[in-house]
Amino acid sequence: MAVENAYGDENFKRMKKLLKERLSSKRYDHSKRVAKTAEELALIYGEDENKARMAGLLHDWDKGLTLEEQRHRVEQFELDIDPVIITDMPYLLHGPTAAAALGAEFPELGRDVLQAISRHTSGAPNMTPLDMIVYTADLIEPGRDYKRVKAIRKSVGKVSLQELYFLAFKNIYEFLIGQNRMMHPQTADVWNHLIYEMQTNTVNRAAAAFEAGSQLEAQPTDWIAAEREMPED
């Protein structure tokens, strides 16, 4: 079917209906909340709201499949996925498999939207703003309830999108360590990349402030301040 406006209201409703048939009502409700949260984040951070809501809606497209079915998708679409993920961390598969399946079935969906869907499970170095929006929306939608979620929500609009994504990613990183869970090397790569980026930004900001003759160079970045404000309970 030819779709005139891939991210318009009409196609959004059509995809919502199709999604409902694939997921449990709980997962479907979560997907709708992620769509709404992604749309809000896009509005706040100046990104395309319609793309964000579509990517948010569809991010768990394959979550209703069994792990065997997800593994089958990997073969079907000849996805280049580390065998360790397939055997030991299959919960990371549903992002890449959903992106492949959606791309094949709905050619109107752009690569940027499919990439954001693909990356929502493991993150990646060099995330685009849309990637970060979907990843973060999945973790802070109103149905989420964990120790730091309120503090991360409070940071929305106060810190940069990258800093917000960092807070969400850090929470997952800490969760994996706290639960003695295996970690894929790419997760550590993402962490290192983020820390490097943050430090570079800090240095750049300090250098700019120094050039301008202000006293800013010794101040902590906003994200460090946001971290400090996080409640312990």
To the nearest whole angstrom, how small is the minimum distance from the Cβ of residue 202 to Fe ion? 31
Closest separation between CB of residue 233 and Fe ion, Å?
25
Q: Which is nearer to Fe ion, 39 or 227 (CB)?
A: 39
CA distance 97 to 78: 10
Nearer to Fe ion, 138 or 227 (CB): 138
Note whether 56 and 34 are within 8 A (CB): yes
Separation CA 189–CA 125 (nearest Å): 7
Give 131 or 138: the residue with its C-beta nearer to Fe ion.
138
Shortest reach from residue 42's CB to Fe ion, in Å: 17
Q: Look at residues 112, 62, 114 and name the one whose alpha carbon lies nearest to residue 91.
A: 62
Nearest distance from C-beta of residue 185 to Fe ion, angstroms = 20
**Nearest-angstrom CA–CA distance, 193 and 214:** 29
Nearer to Fe ion, 34 or 109 (CB): 34
**Smallest distance, Fe ion to C-beta of residue 62, A:** 9
In the bound state with Fe ion, the residue whose beta carbon lies nearer, of 62 and 227, is: 62
CA proximity to 41, closest of 116, 106, 123: 116
Q: Measured between alpha carbons, how far is 78 from 152 in angstroms, rounded to an integer?
A: 37
DSSP-derived letter for residue 82 is -
Take residue 18 and report the two structure tokens written for it: 């199709």
Q: How far is the CB of 169 from Fe ion (least distance, A)?
A: 14
Question: With respect to Fe ion, which residue has the nearer C-beta, 138 or 163?
Answer: 138
Give the max Cα distance, the chain: 61
| Residues near Fe ion, by CB under 5 A | 60, 138
Secondary structure of residue 78 in the 3-state scheme? coil
